[in-house]
Copies of this chain bind each other. A is one copy, B any other.
Amino acid sequence: MRIENKLAEMGLTLPPPIKVPSGVKLPFSFVRVHGSIAYVSGHGPQQADGSVAGPFGKVGAEISVEQGYDLAKAVALSMLGSLQRELGDLDRVSAWLRLFGMVNCAPDFAQQPAVINGCSDLILALYGAEAGAHARSAVGMASLPFNMAVEIEATVAID
């Protein structure tokens, strides 16, 4: 439980399963394991009770790059929460492979990398430069579910 210990040392806690507004159906798996690969669904930032966390809206308009960075870090915690529930132990993630970082933003916003770094930096701090290394895209979406500002999906290798 090396990763769980590091999270505790950093004062970070993983959110519980997502609590969606009534009427919303999400008929998919947050983590889908096949062989030694786990496909991680698009996750958003969560509050401590599991509900979707704001601030909501578009980065570059009502949300700053700094707030976007913090939201992307929160998304990393959401993904780690889902992986923890699926795998039992976050040390079973042997390599991060791919992050696809989606930023809800205005058409003239061009700093998506600075936002998604909030996720990449935490993954690298927790897993180190070898297991934490990942390919990445950080791009601008027209809109995201629940008007979330950031959503990230991932692919990881597991033991």
Residues of A bordering B, CB below 8 Å: 24-32, 34, 39-42, 58, 95, 97-100, 102, 104-114, 117, 120-121, 124, 133-147, 151, 153, 155, 157
Contacts and interface: CB of A to CB of B under 8 A. Distances in A.
Contact of A144 (B31, B110, B147): B110
B142 A141 contact: yes
Contacts of A136: 28-29, 41-42
Contacts of A29: 133-136
A100 B105 CA distance: 19
A69 to B, nearest CB: 11
Q: Which of A24, A111, A155 has the most CB of B within 10 A?
A: A155
Nearest to A26: B113
